[in-house]
Amino acid sequence: MIRPLAALPVVIYIWKVIVYDKVLGLGTTDTITGDVGTWAGVIITTYFGGRTIEKVARIFRRAAPDSDRG
């Protein structure tokens, strides 16, 4: 539940910029700068990259021979 809650503000910002500002042409939004911009990048990278790493690790875990069988 932490990942979606941490990513929600970034997702809202991205949707606002893409849909409201660019697609509908109804506004302008300032860029995210400074530490908050860095945090937003880290949140998005962790959200998508972290899940990918978890899936790859799960695949390797299933494919690895069971070392407990002697």
The CA distance from 42 to 38, in Å, is 6
**Structure confidence at residue 47 (pLDDT):** 76
DSSP type of residue 68 = T
Tens digit of pLDDT for each residue in 50-59?
Answer: 778 888 888 8
Tens digit of pLDDT for each residue in 12-24?
Answer: 988 898 999 889 9
Ramachandran region of residue 69, left (φ > 0), alpha (ψ -120 to 50) or beta?
beta
pLDDT confidence band for 67 (50 / 70 / 90): low
